[in-house]
Amino acid sequence: MDTIINYISAHPSVITVLVIFVVIILLYFIFKQFIKLLLIVLFILMAVGGYHYFKEPDKTAERIKQSIDTFQAGTDEITNKCKNFYRDTKELFNEGKKVPGDINRLLQDSNEKAGK
């Protein structure tokens, strides 16, 4: 044990490299799914760019810009739908809170009518 401590104190760069390696490994396991998603998106973008380049090399920049605009419009539409869904769900939940009180009021009214 003393030899290991002496070696590390004599060579601090070894412990630095070891710590960096451990941090990279930990980050890899934490962000593994994110890295896979990023690689897939990059592959798709390269495939779309390559398709447009081979189809018409002169208009590649225009077609890529058009594809990006289409993607952005779709993303904005999905975002708006999700926001509307959240707002509608919140309103429905708030209205659902009122239902037990309304049912009790209806039952009391029906009891009063039945008692008359």
Among the listed residues 83, 55, 79, the one whose alpha carbon sits nearest the alpha carbon of residue 67: 55
Tokens of 69: 């605009």
Amino acid 84 reads N
Q: How long a stretch of residues is the chain?
A: 116
The whole-number pLDDT of residue 5 equals 81
Residue boundaries of the structural domains of the chain: 31-115
pLDDT tens digits, 47-102: 887 887 788 777 777 877 888 888 888 888 988 888 888 888 888 888 877 777 77
CA distance readout (Å), 60 to 41, 67, 82, 107: 19, 10, 33, 70
Predicted TM-score of the model (pTM): 0.40
Q: How many CB atoms lie within 10 A of CB 39?
A: 10
**Which tokens belong to 49?**
């760019």
**In the Cβ-directed half-sphere of 77, how many Cα atoms lie within 13 Å?**
6
